[in-house]
C-alpha cells in the first residue's frame, strides 16, 4: 500500500513515499481504508524527533493521528461496527499517512449518527482536534455556562474547534489571538467576539473586559504568551496548557502568584488520555460527529492536498502560514 513516512528525524525533506504491507487488525482493532487524513502539529513534532527516533517496522515511522474512511476488516472481539461502514478514527500511535490503517476500536466511531451521516472529508478533521477541544474546555478548563474564554492560536485546528464548542457549551464571550494580521479575517468568521494579535493581546483584552479579564485561557503556544496569559485571568480563572508551538524553554510558574491571585494552571494531553481514559476520546468523537452531521459545527478545512504532498502540508503548519484544517486526500 501507499504511505508516507520517515526513516530519520529532521526537516520536511525526510518524508518519503513508501510501499508498505497492509496491516491486519488484531483483537480489538478494525482495518480502515483511508479516504482523508487530518494533519496536526504533533506530526511535525513526531517528524522532528521530539517523541524519539523512528522505531516502527523496518525503522520507518508513519505520521498521522486522525483519519476518515471505510471499515474493510474486523479483528476479533469487535462489535458495533461492520465492514463497509464509514468511520472516523483517532490513532494515538500515529500511522494515518497510509492507504489502510489498523485502529483501536475504542477510538473509532461511525459517521452514521442520530443526526444523519457525517461527511467523510469533514470527519477527517475531527478525531484528534475535537476531543482535544472538548478536553481543554470541559475536563481541564472546567468551563461553565456564561463564562468567557480566550483562545490562543485561534485560527488553527484546535482553536477553530474550541471556538465553536465553547459556544455549544454555553460560553458568553469568546476571544482569540493570532500570530499575524492576515489571519484575523479568517478567525473572525469562526464566531469570536474579538480577535487580537498574539504579541500584544493583554491591553486590548483588558479594555473589552473592563479590566476583569477572562475565566479561561487555552494556550498551545507557551513561553511569554503563557506567562502573560496568567495576568489576564479573572478571579478563579484557569489557564490550560496543551502544547508548545513556540518551542520555548520550560517555564515555571510561581505558586505564590497562583495562590495570591486566585489563579489555576491545568494541563491537557490527548496522548495521556488515550492511555488512561480512552473512553473519553471515543465519547467526544461521537459527539463531534453528531454535531457535524447536524450542521452545528464545521471542521474548518481550508486546504486539501494529495498524500504525496505531505511535506507541503507540514510546511504550512510549521511556518505558521496555514490556517484552519489541512487534509491529505487518498481518494
Position 55 scores a pLDDT of: 94
Adjacent-strand bridge partners of 177: 196
Contact 302, 309 (CB under 8 A): no
Fold classification of 2-125+278-329 (topology level):
Quinone Oxidoreductase; Chain A, domain 1 (3.90.180)
Local confidence pLDDT in tens for the 331 residues of the chain = 999 999 999 999 999 999 999 999 999 999 999 999 999 989 999 999 999 999 999 999 999 999 999 999 999 999 999 999 999 999 999 999 999 999 999 999 999 999 999 999 999 999 999 999 999 999 999 999 999 999 999 988 899 999 999 999 999 999 999 998 988 998 888 889 999 999 999 999 999 999 999 999 999 998 899 999 999 999 999 999 998 877 777 778 889 889 989 999 999 999 999 999 999 999 999 999 999 999 999 888 989 999 999 999 999 998 877 777 899 999 9
Q: Output phi, psi for 15, to 5 deg.
A: -70, 135
Domain map (residue ranges) of the chain = 2-125+278-329, 129-267
Burial per residue of 164-176, b for 16 or more beta-carbon CB atoms within 10 angstroms, e otherwise: bbbbebebebbbb
Question: Can you read off the three cell numbers belonging to residue 247?
Answer: 518551542
Domain 129-267 indexed as CATH 3.40.630.20: no
Location of C-alpha cell 476571544:
175
Residue 14: Cβ within 10 Å count: 17
Tell me, yes or no, if the pTM score tops 0.85.
yes
The DSSP secondary-structure symbol of 139 reads: I
Adjacent-strand bridge partners of 3: 18, 98
Question: Can you read off the three cell numbers belonging to residue 271?
Answer: 496522548
Position 300 scores a pLDDT of: 84
Q: Output phi, psi for 173, to 5 deg.
A: -135, 135
First to last CA, the chain: 14
Position 243 scores a pLDDT of: 83
Position 192 scores a pLDDT of: 95
Amino acid at each position: 500500500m501507499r504511505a508516507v513516512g520517515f526513516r530519520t528525524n529532521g526537516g520536511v525533506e525526510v518524508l518519503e513515499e513508501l510501499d508498505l504491507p497492509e496491516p491486519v487488525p488484531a483483537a480489538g482493532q478494525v482495518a480502515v481504508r483511508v479516504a482523508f487524513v487530518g494533519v496536526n502539529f504533533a506530526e511535525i513534532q513526531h517528524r522532528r524527533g521530539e517523541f524519539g527516533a523512528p522505531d516502527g517496522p523496518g525503522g520507518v515511522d508513519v505520521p498521522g493521528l486522525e483519519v476518515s474512511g471505510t471499515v474493510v476488516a474486523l479483528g476479533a472481539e469487535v462489535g458495533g461496527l461492520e465492514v463497509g461502514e464509514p468511520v472516523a478514527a483517532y490513532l494515538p500511535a500515529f500511522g494515518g499517512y497510509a492507504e489502510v490503517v489498523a485502529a483501536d476500536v475504542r477510538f473509532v466511531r461511525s459517521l452514521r449518527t442520530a443526526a444523519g451521516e457525517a461527511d467523510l472529508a469533514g470527519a477527517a478533521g475531527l478525531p484528534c482536534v475535537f476531543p482535544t477541544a472538548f478536553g481543554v474546555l470541559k475536563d481541564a478548563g472546567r468551563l461553565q455556562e456564561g463564562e468567557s474564554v480566550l483562545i490562543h492560536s485561534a485560527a488553527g485546528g484546535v482553536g477553530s474547534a474550541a471556538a465553536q464548542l465553547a459556544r455549544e457549551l454555553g460560553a458568553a464571550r469568546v476571544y482569540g489571538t493570532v500570530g499575524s494580521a492576515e489571519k484575523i479575517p479568517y478567525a473572525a468568521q469562526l464566531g469570536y467576539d474579538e480577535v487580537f494579535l498574539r504579541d500584544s493581546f493583554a491591553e486590548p483584552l483588558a479594555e473589552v473586559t473592563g479590566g476583569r479579564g477572562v475565566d479561561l485561557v487555552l494556550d498551545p503556544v507557551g513561553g511569554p504568551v503563557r506567562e502573560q496569559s496568567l495576568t489576564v485571568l479573572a478571579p478563579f480563572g484557569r489557564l490550560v496548557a496543551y502544547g508548545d508551538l513556540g518551542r520555548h524553554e520550560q517555564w515555571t510558574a510561581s505558586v505564590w502568584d497562583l495562590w495570591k491571585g486566585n489563579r489555576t494552571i491545568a494541563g491537557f494531553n490527548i496522548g495521556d488520555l488515550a492511555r488512561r481514559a480512552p473512553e473519553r476520546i471515543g465519547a467526544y468523537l461521537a459527539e463531534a460527529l453528531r454535531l457535524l452531521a447536524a450542521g452545528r459545527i464545521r471542521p474548518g478545512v481550508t486546504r486539501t492536498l494529495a498524500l504525496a504532498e505531505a511535506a507541503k502540508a507540514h510546511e504550512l503548519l510549521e511556518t505558521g502560514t496555514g490556517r484552519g484544517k489541512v487534509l491529505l486526500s487518498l481518494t
